[in-house]
């Protein structure tokens, strides 16, 4: 079983201790390091983490794009999960996704969702509320451009019907509703999606979305 290499960067205190305790208890996760200052983060990125838990409180919100750009240069394979303050608005969440965050989680939800988020991001998925993800996918011109570009560059091109179905996936449409819309069975939908995912070299809806939205 693969061990997920986790790096935590969070404010000193109970929140950091909670993060360490949660990750340390999971048999499929290994804690590389826990740091309390952003300047130290840049020094430990050479440890090649799979997932970075990044506390938004470590730096001003307007610096998120710069921070993520630096992380990407030094640890390009790592997926970053942003720890959010309670008052983070929808625009800030979508901006964070545009800047390269692979997931976010509110501090109050850490005990319930952190391990699931880590596993999801480590597999190449995007961890975000469906409501935010739908707004992000349909209302962001840059992401629409990325999607169109990726669809055109798939080595084994999608058929017209496959392209229609993957667009439904991006909208969050269920297999049942896709079947109803196109007057086909759910099994046929699953067969189409299996072929689409195989062409994209992904294994799930979430991975397909991540594949299409990031350059």
Which regions of the chain carry the CATH code 3.40.50.2300? 4-127, 136-213
pLDDT-based confidence at residue 86 (cuts at 50, 70, 90): low
pLDDT, tens digit (0-9, with 9 covering 90-100), for 112-126: 999 999 999 999 888
CATH superfamily of 4-127: Response regulator (3.40.50.2300)
pLDDT for residue 208 is more than 80: yes
At the top level of CATH, the class of 136-213 is: alpha beta
The residues, any chain, with a CB within 8 Å of residue 145's CB and separated by 6 or more, are none
- Do the bridges between strand 51-55 and strand 103-106 make them parallel or antiparallel, or are there none, so unpaired? unpaired
List beta partners, residue 105: 83
Give the pLDDT confidence score for residue 73 in this predicted structure.
86
Question: Which position has the higher pLDDT, 99 or 52?
Answer: 52
Q: What average pLDDT does the segment 52-76 reach?
A: 85
CA dist 179 and 168 (Å) reads 11
- Between 54-63, 102-111, 156-165, the lowest mean confidence (pLDDT) is in 54-63
CA dist 73 and 61 (Å) reads 20
Spatial contact of 155 and 124, defined as CB atoms under 8 Å apart: no
pLDDT-based confidence at residue 141 (cuts at 50, 70, 90): confident
Mean pLDDT of the chain: 88
pTM: 0.75
């Amino acid at each position: 079983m693969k061990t997920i290499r986790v790096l935590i960067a969070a404010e000193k205190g109970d929140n950091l201790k909670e993060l360490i305790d949660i990750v340390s208890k999971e048999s499929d996760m290994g804690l590389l390091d826990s740091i309390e200052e952003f300047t130290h983060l840049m020094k430990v990125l050479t440890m090649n983490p799979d997932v970075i838990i990044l506390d938004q409180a470590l730096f001003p919100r307007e610096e998120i794009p710069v921070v993520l750009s630096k992380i990407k240069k030094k640890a390009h394979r790592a997926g970053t999960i942003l720890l959010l303050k309670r008052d983070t608005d929808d625009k800030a969440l979508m901006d964070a996704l545009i800047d390269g965050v692979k997931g976010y989680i509110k501090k109050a939800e850490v005990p319930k969702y952190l391990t699931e988020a880590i596993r999801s991001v480590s597999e190449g998925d995007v961890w975000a509320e469906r409501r935010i993800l739908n707004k992000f996918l349909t209302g962001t011109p840059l992401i629409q451009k990325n999607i169109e570009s990726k669809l055109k560059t798939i080595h084994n091109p999608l058929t017209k019907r496959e392209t229609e179905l993957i667009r439904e996936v991006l909208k969050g449409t269920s297999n049942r509703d896709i079947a109803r819309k196109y007057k086909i069975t759910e099994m046929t939908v699953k067969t189409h999606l299996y072929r689409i995912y195989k062409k994209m070299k992904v294994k799930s809806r979430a991975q397909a979305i991540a594949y299409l939205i990031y350059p």
